[in-house]
Amino acid sequence: MFSKVRTCLASRLARAPAAASSRAALRATPALCRHRRGFSSGSAAVRVLYDGHCPICVTEIRFLQFLQRNRPGEVDFIDISLPGYDGGKYKDVSYEMAMDEMHVIDEKDEVHRGIPAFAVMYGAVGLGWLGRFMMWPLVRPFMDKSYAIFARNRLKWTGRGGECTTGRCEKKTH
């Protein structure tokens, strides 16, 4: 936490006019603070495609929305379960592809799937340290295997296995 504050402070100082002459200050601009850039297009920098009928997924998305409450517009959470979802608007990520695994479209319009998608998403809401940890070479194989198990079984674990075999899933109304 303190290292993030320190690096963001160094970044702010590097942008200050008095610090502009210092080469060391200019090199101090960290990757942690890059998510604070403005975009002229008016759209969010990062787009997260998630299953709005998955209670596990929705819980995580609500937490991430809470984290980004002070940075509106940085992340756009797209619910693929809504009837109007059109993969053509999101780099041709179809409903079926998005149901198979997590997809995130970054600020460069590149699509990330699986664990790299989580790393991009976490970085966009201020949890870059968690994303970097997940991508660390010693941890990444474990994360990939764990996520593969989750992705393969999440429909069954959330009680939606049968109705999701074809077409769109429907939220159970008990």
Instruction: For 128-156, write each residue's pLDDT tens digit.
Output: 999 999 999 999 999 999 999 999 998 88
Percent share of the chain, pLDDT over 90: 56
| Burial of residue 103 (number of CB atoms within 10 Å: 0-12, 13-18, 19+) | buried
Average pLDDT over residues 94-104: 94
Q: Global pTM? A: 0.69
Q: Is residue 169 part of a domain?
A: no
Q: Assess if residue 21 is contained within a domain.
A: yes
Q: Exposure string (b/e) for 18-54, b if CB count within 10 Å is 16 or more? A: eeeeeeebeebbbebbebeeeeeeeebbbbbbbbbbb
Residue 174, in any domain of the structure: no
* Number of domains comprising the chain: 2
Residue 51's Cβ-side half-sphere holds a number of Cα atoms within 13 Å equal to 24
Count Cα neighbours of 122 within 13 Å in the Cβ-side half-sphere: 17
Residues 73 and 14 in one domain: no
My answer on whether 10 and 52 are in the same domain is: no
Residue 9 token pair: 């402070």
Residue-number span of the structural domain to which 1 is assigned: 1-34
Encoded amino acid at 97, one letter: M
**Chain CA centroid to CA 132, Å:** 13
Tell the burial category of 169 from Cβ atoms under 10 Å away from its Cβ (0-12, 13-18, 19+): buried
Confidence band for 22, pLDDT divided at 50, 70 and 90: very low
